[in-house]
Amino acid sequence: MRHFQEFEKTTGFAFQNPELLKQAFVHRSYLNEHPDFPLAHNERLEFLGDAVLELVVTEYLYQTYPNPEGELTNWRASLVNAKTLSEIAMNLEIGEYLFLSKGEAKDAKSKARQIILANAFEAVVGAIYLDQGYAAAQKFVSEHVLIRLKFIMDNNLAKDAKSRFQETAQEKFGLTPTYKVLSESGPDHNRKFVVGVYIGQDKIAEGVGTSKQEAQMSAASAGLQAKGWI
């Protein structure tokens, strides 16, 4: 595990209360194995950081672009979703600072790790806000999140996979895609859905997720790949 001073140096934010920064990297699983650890997990900081992040992004979009609400909402969703935030977290090497259980530490490439990284990034935003105020949090979000907006706009990534797949299918075939649950398994707290996406009677691709909506999004993304529509 790396020293947190390295993170401060990388980001340019020197914490008045270093324990706040450290807490931002504590995953709940670590405390299950280390109950005497002096800090709490990062979920409260994540809760705060999520709100600060959304406010900074929303305020920037509102002040900068006169576009309709729907477009601003799509841009914001593209900037603050788990995939984007986990990529930013990886760029900042947040994974090198995480306090994880042995099991979580081994599972480096899973969907769960993506969520953990995204949540840790939000926790860092919350920690900066508490330690240095809104202006500092705004600066951090601008440097690492808002900077991605141009790429999202230039590549038309603001629309989710389902929207893009539907629009392209309607344009090319005059048909609206349909989704069908192919299988459902696992206990209630950890369901697994397999969903197929169809154009007419033809199944184009399948997707997997922990909810029907997530599986549909995965299927649409796979469908875009299968049809070469990306």
pLDDT digits (tens, 9 = 90+) for 132-160: 999 999 999 999 999 999 998 887 777 77
pLDDT in tens, 207-221: 998 889 889 989 998
- The per-residue pLDDT for 126 is 98
- The per-residue pLDDT for 51 is 97
| Separation CA 143–CA 58 (nearest Å) | 15
* 3-state SS assignment for residue 58: helix
- CATH number for 4-154: choose from 2.40.50.140, 1.10.1520.10, 3.40.720.10, 3.30.565.10: 1.10.1520.10
How does DSSP classify residue 99?
A: B
Say how many C-beta atoms besides its own lie within 10 A of residue 172's C-beta. Answer: 11
* 3-state SS assignment for residue 83: helix
- The per-residue pLDDT for 157 is 74
Q: Tell me the pLDDT of the chain averaged across its residues.
A: 91
* 3-state SS assignment for residue 80: helix
Token pair recorded at residue 136: 């500092």
Highest average pLDDT, of 31-35, 109-113, 127-131, 161-165, comes from 127-131
- The per-residue pLDDT for 140 is 97
Cα dihedral sign, 95-104-111-126: negative
- The per-residue pLDDT for 111 is 72
- The per-residue pLDDT for 71 is 82
Active site members: 50, 122
Contact 20, 130 (CB under 8 A): yes
124, pLDDT greater than 80:
yes
- The per-residue pLDDT for 108 is 65
1, pLDDT greater than 70:
no
How much of the chain exceeds pLDDT 70, in percent?
A: 97
The CATH architecture annotation of domain 161-227 reads 2-Layer Sandwich (3.30)
pTM: 0.73
* Domain spans in the chain, listed from the N-terminal domain onward: 4-154, 161-227
pLDDT in tens, 58-111: 999 999 999 988 788 889 988 998 889 999 999 999 999 999 988 887 776 667
The letter for the amino acid at 58 is T
Token pair recorded at residue 177: 């895609």
- The per-residue pLDDT for 77 is 84
